[in-house]
Amino acid sequence: MPIEIVCKIKFAEEDAKPKEKEAGDEQSLLGAAQGTAAPRDLATFASTSTLHGLGRACGPGPHGLRRTLWALALLTSLAAFLYQAAGLARGYLTRPHLVAMDPAAPAPVAGFPAVTLCNINRFRHSALSDADIFHLANLTGLPPKDRDGHRAAGLRYPEPDMVDILNRTGHQLADMLKSCNFSGHHCSASNFSVVYTRYGKCYTFNADPQSSLPSRAGGMGSGLEIMLDIQQEEYLPIWRETSPHVHCADETSFEAGIRVQIHSQEEPPYIHQLGFGVSPGFQTFVSCQEQRLTYLPQPWGNCRAESGLREPELQGYSAYSVSACRLRCEKEAVLQRCHCRMVHMPGNETICPPNIYIECADHTLDSLGGGSEGPCFCPTPCNLTRYGKEISMVRIPNRGSARYLARKYNRNETYIRENFLVLDVFFEALTSEAMEQRAAYGLSALLGDLGGQMGLFIGASILTLLEILDYIYEVSWDRLKRVWRRPKTPLRTSTGGISTLGLQELKEQSPCPSRGRAEGGGASGLLPNHHHPPGPRGGLFEDFAC
């Protein structure tokens, strides 16, 4: 029958430790060769980190009261830093800005601004025909009558042309302008351009941006000086108040004089809101100061940056301005509701007839409103030129000049005092006033403050943050590799330091050839070899394995 020999070999614990150490050293060498060294633990990292206090709170050493106090100090400093950092971030996100002013910035040869003036009275009474009075009844408040003074019951007139009516019935500058001088040189009505506003037919001096007149000196006498006759006898009589919704030029007007707006050549006049009044019987001095304003775009402000395109940004205007944007928006609203446009609006669409001016157009303009919440909100351009004004006036004429002017223009002295005015517009000095919006708290200031707070509370820097991120990456990568790596199956199993080997395993693992057949004459060699010659034996392993 087959015989199985079991060998049990038990090693002492002291003999096993050197073998385990040798196996561990071999594994460490293999790991180092393959680049898979174990990551540092938290204590080792804390002892080498540049973050102040981390080594004393989390480094190697015994746990005690001292380490607890260091940990509390570290957490308190970290909380204080986070609180300060949050406040700095909130301050930065509010995008604060300030205005820097340079009151003595030298300007190049300053171009004289455009000066637009309108007579407050829109229609001359003597120029209105029966058809005009009939068509303009809602605008003027005059009852339509025929030539015999009877009310028109069944009168029929041709369709009105609003542009023709304004041209014919508006105050003519050639009749109003009595004298004109610019920088000591004579000027006339031919130096003015016709422009239409909500006051009707108006006139602009120095309107062409391609041939702007320069101002060679500052002070009175170096600008525009004109004398005007406002022609109060041509003002419409007030029979009744017109529609309360009509306030574009106050058709039911109790004032006498002109409206004036000083603006750049690229900006259309918006005189009903931006103009100022000049009264007859006074000489009005307007001292101007050129102001160059620079605003910040988003996120610090709400200005409109230039697009950089060659084509005009607003159809009908060469450049963007708030006035042009407002006029364009008003035109779109009137066109959508009334299917026509008013005379002062840009475009080639059909002009509204007189009856539509009140029934549709003026009502539409009244409903638009303004400001940042209205449907016609127009942002301010980021680069803007405007003219600050200081206005003063003296009474004219004196007694001597009243007689002279009465004789010169064949009028009485009362007419001169009630109708004549002098307007003097000039630069205070040939210097501009530059005002610029600047960011009060930018990104560089935020980083500087964060760095100061970080160094004050936790003694850290950008490199310290990189150290922490590197350690987190190192630990995370090691965890992932452990999850991906599969453990190897051991060749032998051992229990309690006792190894069990079967005879068949001994035969398979033995490097020695079987000698049973050579010596035993066909025997398998499973039993101990008793046929050896006398002499020293080879040992237990030789007797049982070979």
| pLDDT confidence of residue 415 | 95
Query: Each residue of 25-57: pLDDT tens digit?
Result: 544 444 444 455 667 778 888 888 888 888 888
CB 234 within 8 A of CB 248: no
Band the pLDDT of 247: cuts 50, 70, 90: very low
Burial (CB < 10 A; 0-12, 13-18, 19+), residue 498, is exposed
CB 277 within 8 A of CB 227: no
| pLDDT confidence of residue 241 | 56
Task: Give the least confident one: 86-100, 101-115, 427-441, 515-529.
Answer: 515-529
Burial (CB < 10 A; 0-12, 13-18, 19+), residue 122, is buried
| pLDDT confidence of residue 33 | 43
Q: Quote the longest CA-to-CA distance of the chain.
A: 171
| pLDDT confidence of residue 235 | 93
β-pair type (282-294, 383-395): antiparallel
Token pair 């101990």 is found at 528
Residue 544 to residues 520, 536, 538, 541: CA-CA distances in angstroms? 15, 16, 10, 5
Cα gap 340→159, rounded to integer Å:
15
Residue 115 above 90 pLDDT?
A: yes
User: Hey, which bits of 249-397 come out as E strands?
Assistant: 258-263, 276-278, 282-294, 383-395
Query: HSE of 478 in the Cβ direction (CA atoms, 13 Å)?
Result: 13
Cα gap 351→400, rounded to integer Å:
49
Query: Each residue of 321-374: pLDDT tens digit?
Result: 999 998 988 888 888 888 888 898 888 888 888 877 766 766 676 666 555 556
| pLDDT confidence of residue 249 | 40
Cα gap 90→450, rounded to integer Å:
12
Q: In degrees rounded to 5, what are phi and psi of residue 145?
A: -135, 160
| pLDDT confidence of residue 50 | 84
Cα torsion angle, 5, 6, 11, 16, sign:
positive
* Cβ atoms within 10 Å of 517's Cβ, excluding its own: 12
Question: In this predicted model, which residue has the larger pLDDT, 247 or 295?
Answer: 295
Q: Which amino acid is at 542?
A: E
| pLDDT confidence of residue 528 | 44
CA 426 to chain centre: 37
CB 202 within 8 A of CB 221: no
Whether a cis peptide bond, with omega within 30° of 0, leads into 299 is: yes
What is this structure's pTM?
A: 0.68
Residue 13 above 50 pLDDT?
A: no
β-pair type (420-439, 282-294): parallel
| pLDDT confidence of residue 519 | 43
Cα gap 131→151, rounded to integer Å:
13
**% of the chain at pLDDT higher than 70:** 71
Token pair 């909100």 is found at 377
CB 385 within 8 A of CB 377: no
Coil/strand/helix, residue 270: coil
Coil/strand/helix, residue 308: coil
Averaged confidence pLDDT in the chain: 78
Q: In degrees rounded to 5, what are phi and psi of residue 220?
A: -65, 145
Cα gap 17→393, rounded to integer Å:
111
Cα gap 25→30, rounded to integer Å:
9
Cα gap 404→413, rounded to integer Å:
9
Contacts of residue 520, defined as CB under 8 A and 6 or more positions apart, other chains included, come to 531
Cα gap 194→540, rounded to integer Å:
130
What is the separation, in whole angstroms, between the first and last Cα of the chain?
A: 20
Contacts of residue 309, defined as CB under 8 A and 6 or more positions apart, other chains included, come to none
Nearest to 109 by CA among 180, 181, 183: 183
| pLDDT confidence of residue 7 | 55
Whether a cis peptide bond, with omega within 30° of 0, leads into 397 is: yes
Cα gap 288→261, rounded to integer Å:
12
Nearest to 298 by CA among 382, 387, 232: 382
**Rounded (10°) angle between helices 443-457 and 65-93:** 170
Nearest to 122 by CA among 65, 170, 182: 170
